[in-house]
Structure 1
Amino acid sequence: MSPPTFLLTGFEPFGGESINPSWEVARALEGERFGEAVVVASRLPCCFGDAAARLRQLLDELRPQWVLALGQAAGRADFSIERIAINIDDARIADNAGAQPVDVPVVEGGPAAFFATLPIKAMVAGLREAGLPASISQTAGTFVCNHVFYALMHAVQGRAGVRGGFMHLPLLPEQAVRQPGLPSMPLSTMIDGVRLALRVAARHRGDDAHQAEGQVA
């Protein structure tokens, strides 16, 4: 019997960048184990439609117990764990295939939104206890990151026992140096933080941690 799988995805570079921290972190953690769970990393295209199709293919092939999709978010300064995926594609810029959907549902006729099912508050608490900055985000945007997050949560509705979520990462220093004023985080810190978040998610049972992580306006 194969060990339980923790699917960890990252994206290819986009928006003129030559690197994407989400994939650099994911591939660094390929093959790591958390108890009986083994990490399988996969790179998704930064393309509407194609990214969701590839994710669904991975779900069918791997049948993971946990899924954490990673993405890059310029301007964010911490490990930003998403709470809500919304059913809308509204692209400020074109994706890597040149597509720029506006006000298009991710899934026609799907629910307005889905909540992450990973223990996101416990993951944030674990990161903070280790001295790493982390927060719950109430929006994953409306670009390909949210597209994948929504597609993930829609797909796992019919898969018993599968828990999923999404985490945004800051820019790497070599990216931020070309964009003065934007925060960054070293790759080694990102790897350590995502590793810890996966460990917390894999061992957590039952309800999520009960702590306030909301926002005021």
Structure 2
Amino acid sequence: MSGAGPVLVTGFEPFDGRPVNASWSAVEALMTGWPGPERLVAVRLPVSFRGARQALRLAVREHGPRLVVCVGEAARAAVGVERVAVNVIDARIADNDGSAPVDVPVVAGAPAAFFSTLPVRACARAVAAAGIPAEVSPSAGTYVCNATFYALAHLLADRPEVRGGFVHVPLTPEQAGAGAPSLPTSASARALAAVVRTALDQP
């Protein structure tokens, strides 16, 4: 993948009363253990429909990345490489600003959906090859994760030289509790490293 800019990786702050967010824990661990020569920049986004989009836009403007991988947490058993961002918000709970929009667009007047520009299937294969459960996910939901993914895709629509997409990591074992789907932070970080490496190397 051409370009001299860094790799921008984002995670989220805690929300819904939880003390941590698995996405940010995984991003922090990725930053500590990243083996590649490329420079990584990590930004923690607020769990806010408005604030996440603003913070993401500022980060892209400031760092001029060649690749952007946004990361969220989900109560799933596998790392999900998201394929599609849809232009709708339908909040099941309020965000950290107390906002809970229902059936409103992420960006008014914009296309109904955008596809990820990551090589999603190759990324999922790379994660699985690292011994971590992985899937290509058809839906990022309708909460802040999807809204952020859509905002990223909309922002990069006229920047074909910059790849971008979204990955969901499972909850940590501490978050999920006994018997529930989870993944240790170290494994989620290795999954993110596989996604980033694949997105950089895959034509």
TM-score of the aligned structures, taking structure 2 as reference length: 0.94
Using the TM superposition, give the Cα deviation of residue 3 of structure 1 relative to its aligned residue in structure 2, in angstroms: 4.5
Aligned to 2:17: 16
> Any unmatched runs of 5+ in structure 2?
none
User: Which deviations, in whole Å up to 9, do the C-alpha atoms of 1:174-216 show, x marking residues without a partner?
Assistant: 1112xx54201111111111112111111111xxxxxxxxxxx
**Counterpart contact for 1:82–1:166, Cα < 8 Å:** yes
**Counterpart contact for 1:80–1:135, Cα < 8 Å:** yes
Residues 53-132 of structure 1 mapped to structure 2, 5 A cutoff: 53-74=54-75, 76-132=76-132
Q: How many residues align?
A: 200
Distance 1:159 1:33, change over 3 A: farther
Using the TM superposition, give the Cα deviation of residue 25 of structure 1 relative to its aligned residue in structure 2, in angstroms: 1.3
How many angstroms apart in 2 are the aligned matches of 1:104 and 1:3? Answer: 37
How many angstroms apart in 2 are the aligned matches of 1:190 and 1:89? Answer: 27
Aligned to 2:201: 203
How many angstroms apart in 2 are the aligned matches of 1:85 and 1:21? Answer: 21
**Counterpart contact for 2:29–2:185, Cα < 8 Å:** no
**Counterpart contact for 2:82–2:136, Cα < 8 Å:** yes
Larger relative helix fraction:
2
- The DSSP-based 3-state class of the residue aligned with 1:114 is strand
Using the TM superposition, give the Cα deviation of residue 72 of structure 1 relative to its aligned residue in structure 2, in angstroms: 0.6
Aligned CA RMSD, in angstroms, stands at 1.5
State whether structure 2 residue 43 is matched by structure 1 residue 45: no
193-202 or 135-144, which deviates more = 193-202
How many angstroms apart in 2 are the aligned matches of 1:92 and 1:120? Answer: 27
- The DSSP-based 3-state class of the residue aligned with 2:142 is coil
How many angstroms apart in 1 are the aligned matches of 2:36 and 2:156? Answer: 22
Q: Relative contact order (alpha carbons < 8 A, sep ≥ 6): 1 or 2 greater?
A: 2
Letter in 2 for 1:34: G
TM-score of the aligned structures, taking structure 1 as reference length: 0.88
Identity over aligned residues, as a percent?
Answer: 47
